[in-house]
Amino acid sequence: MQMTSEQGAALRHLLHSIKDKSAFYAQKFAGVDLDKIKTQGDFEQLPFTDKNDLRKAYPLGLAAVPQEEIVRIHSSSGTTGTPVIIPYTAKDVSDWALQFARCYEYAGITKEDRIQITPGYGLWTAGIGFQAGAERLGAMAIPMGPGNTAKQLQFLVDMQSTVLCATSSYALLIAEAIAEHGLHDQIALRKGVIGSERWGKRMRERIADELGVELYDIYGLTEIYGPGIGINCQKQEAMHIWADFCYCEVINPATGEIVPDGESGELVITTLQKEGAPLIRYRTHDLTRYVPGPCPCGSPHPRFERLIGRSDDMVKVHGVNIFPAHIEEALSATSGASSEYQVMIDHLNGKDIMTVFFETDAPEGERDHIERELHGIVKAKLNLGIVAKAVAIGDLPRSEKKTQRIFDNRY
Ligand code: ZN
C-alpha cells in the first residue's frame, strides 16, 4: 500500500515536532533522529505503539498539548487493568465530527434524516460520536442511549426515526422486538449504522431483513478518535478509512512485518492530524485486508475488508487457529442455522473439546441433520471436529453491548 505524497508530508510534519510536544514519544523515540525519517521505508522502521504503552501513560501522559488546550477526554473500555485516557483538543473534537458526518454521507444519510442513537454516552466514544456526526451533518439526533427497548420502540414509531445506530447485538434485539410487537408498518427506518462489534454475514442478513433496512458498518476505536474513521460505501464491498486523517498499514501480527497488498493481517494506524494525543504506528489488533484497486464508488480513500476478527480473539484448538469469523462463515453455510451462536472450549479427559451452540427455528425432533451439517462444514473447512448443538431461537443471550462468543474454559 503506497503512502500518498500528502500523507508523507503530514507524517514528516508530525515527526518533526512530536518529541517537543509529547513526553510519551520523546521517551519512546529517544535515540531516533526523526528528521531522518523521510521515506515510507524509513517510517516502517519505527517501533509500534501498543495499548500497553498507552496504559502506562495513565492518566494524562499521552497529552501532546498544554493542559488548557484539552477540551475533553475519553477512555477506552478496557475490560481489565488500567484504562487508557485519550485527551482531545477542540480541533480533534471537530475533526472527529467531520469524519463521522462523512460516514453518514457515505451511507446516503442526509439532513432530512432522524437518527436514533442507541450506543451509550459517557467516558467511551460511542454515543457522543454518533451524536456529533449527526449534528455536523445537520440531521436530527435522537440521543436515546442504550437499553429500555420499550422506549426505543415507542420513539421509532412516534419520532418516525429513519436511521438506527446500534451495536449489531442490540440492532438484532430491536429487530426481534419490532417483529414480536408487529410494528413493521408503523416505523420509518431506512438505514442502520452498526458500530463497535464485528459481526457475521448471517446476522447482517437477519437484521437487514427484519428491520427492512440497508446496513452500514462504522469503524473506529477510542484511541484513534472513536467510531467514524471509516465506513463501508454504498457499493457495500469493503470499508473506506479516511486517508486524510489516518495512515494505515497491515502487518503480520506475529512478526510485525508489512504483509503484501491484499493479504490479511493486523491494521496499524498513524494519526495524521490529531493534536491531543497523536499516535504513531498504533496496533489496533483488528484483523483485516487491504483491498487494492479503485472502488466502484469512486472514493479516493483506501478500502479494507470488513474485520475478520481481533488478533486477541483467536483461540487455538488442536493446533488450528480459530476466529469467530470462521464459525460465522460455517453457520451461514449451514441450512437451517440462524446467526446467534456461542462456542465453549473445554479440556476433558486429556482432550480439547469445542462445542458450538447455535440457534435454529427447526423443531426439536428435526435438529440432528442441521447439527451434522455444521459439523461436516467445520470439519471440511478447518479440519477440526466439533460438537454441534442446536438450541431454539432466543435461547442464547442477547446483549445491549458486545456479545462474547467464545468461552475458553481450558485454563
Ligand atoms: Zn467505495
CA distance 397 to 237: 30
How much distance in Å is there from the Cα of 303 to the middle of ligand 1? 7
> What pLDDT is recorded for position 198?
64
3-state secondary structure of 155: helix
Q: How far apart are CA 316 and CA 307, in angstroms?
A: 19
State which amino acid sits at residue 377: I
Chain Cα centroid distance, residue 289: 14
Q: What's domain 90-311's architecture?
A: 3-Layer(aba) Sandwich (3.40)
For the chain, the domains span 90-311, 314-408
Q: Measured in angstroms, how far is the CA atom of residue 299 from the centroid of ligand 1?
A: 5
What integer pLDDT is reported at residue 388 of this predicted model?
96
Measured in Å, residue 266 CA sits from the centre of ligand 1 at 21
Report the pLDDT value the prediction gives residue 24, as an integer from 0 to 100: 97
Ligand 1 geometric centre to CA of 28 (Å) = 36
Gap from CA of 231 to ligand 1 centroid (Å): 9
What phi and psi, each to the nearest 5 degrees, are found at residue 270?
-115, 130
Contact yes or no for 227/129 (Cβ under 8 A): yes
What is the dihedral sign for C-alpha 103, 104, 107, 108?
negative
Same topology, domains 90-311 and 314-408? Answer is: no
Determine the pLDDT at residue 197.
Answer: 64
Which residues lie near ion ligand 1 (Cβ < 5 Å)?
A: 233, 235, 295, 297, 299
Per the CB < 8 A criterion, the answer to whether 136 and 100 are in contact is yes
Supply the pLDDT for residue 66.
Answer: 97
pLDDT reported for residue 269: 98
| The predicted structure's pLDDT at residue 78 | 60
Non-local CB neighbours of 176 within 8 Å, separated by 6+ positions? 210, 394, 398
Nine-digit cell at 37?
525519517
Cα(224)–Cα(245) distance, integer angstroms: 10
Calculate how far, in angstroms, residue 290's C-alpha sits from the geometric centre of ligand 1: 13
Selection from 408, 406, 402, 379 nearest residue 198 by Cα: 402
Angle between helix 168-180 and 149-158 (nearest 10): 70
Mean pLDDT (10-residue bins), the chain, 411 residues: 96 97 97 95 96 93 98 81 93 98 98 97 93 98 96 98 94 94 96 79 85 93 96 89 98 91 94 98 94 94 88 82 86 92 91 94 94 96 94 86 80 72
Picking from 211, 135, 230, the residue whose alpha carbon sits closest to that of residue 166 is: 211
Domain at 314-408: CATH architecture? 2-Layer Sandwich (3.30)
Per-residue model confidence (pLDDT) at position 321: 80
pLDDT of residue 316: 83
Residues in CB range of 117: below 8 A, 6 or more apart: 127, 130, 131, 134, 141, 142, 143, 144, 145, 165
Q: Which of 228, 222, 274, 279 is nearest to 85 (CA)?
A: 222
5 C-alpha vs ligand 1 centroid, how far in Å?
21
Give the DSSP per-residue string, 1-19. Answer: -PPPHHHHHHHHHHHHHHH
- CA 297 to centroid of ligand 1, rounded, Å: 4
- In order of 2, 4, 7, 381, 401, the CA distances from 246 in angstroms are 13, 12, 9, 35, 26
Q: What's the 104 CA to ligand 1 centre distance in angstroms?
A: 13
